[in-house]
A = this chain, B = another copy of it.
Amino acid sequence: MSNKKAVILLSGGLDSVTVLAIAKAQGFECHAMSFDYGQRHSSELQASINIAKASGVEHKIIPLNLRLIGGSALTDNIDVPDFDANSDEIPVTYVPARNTVFLSVALGWAEVLDADAIFIGVNAVDYSGYPDCRPEFIQAFEVLANLATKTGVEGKKLSIETPLIDLTKAQIIQKGLELGVDYSQTISCYQADDHGKACGVCDSCVLRKQGFEHAGVSDPTIYA
A residues sitting closer than 8 Å to B (CB atoms) are: 60, 62-66, 68-71, 90, 94-101, 103-105, 107-109, 111-112, 131-132, 134, 136-137, 140-141, 143-145, 147-150, 152-153
A112→B100 contact, CB < 8 A: no
Nearest residue, chain B, Cβ from A107? B97
Nearest residue, chain B, Cβ from A112? B71
Which of B101, B103, B107 has a CB less than 8 Å from the CB of A108?
B101
Which of B132, B143, B148 has a CB less than 8 Å from the CB of A148?
B132
**In the complex, what residues of B have CB within 8 A of residue A62's CB?**
64-65, 68
A112→B69 contact, CB < 8 A: yes
B97→A148 contact, CB < 8 A: yes
Report which residue of A71, A141, A144, A150 has the largest number of chain B beta carbons within 10 angstroms of its beta carbon.
Answer: A144
Nearest residue, chain B, Cβ from A114? B71
Known: A143-B143, A149-B96. A66 touches B108 (CB 8 A): yes
Give the Cβ gap from A110 to chain B, nearest Cβ, in Å.
8
B66→A64 contact, CB < 8 A: no
A51 to B69, CA, bound (A): 21
A70 to B141, CA, bound (A): 22
A68→B60 contact, CB < 8 A: yes
B140→A147 contact, CB < 8 A: yes
Nearest residue, chain B, Cβ from A109? B69
Sample of 6 A–B contacts (CB below 8 Å): A63-B64, A70-B112, A103-B104, A131-B147, A140-B140, A141-B144
Give the Cβ gap from A128 to chain B, nearest Cβ, in Å.
12
Give the Cβ gap from A122 to chain B, nearest Cβ, in Å.
12
**In the complex, what residues of B have CB within 8 A of residue A141's CB?**
144
Which of B65, B69, B150 has a CB less than 8 Å from the CB of A96?
B150
A97→B111 contact, CB < 8 A: yes
Report which residue of A140, A143, A145 has the largest number of chain B beta carbons within 10 angstroms of its beta carbon.
Answer: A140
Closest 4 CB pairs of A and B: A97-B108, A71-B112, A96-B111, A96-B108
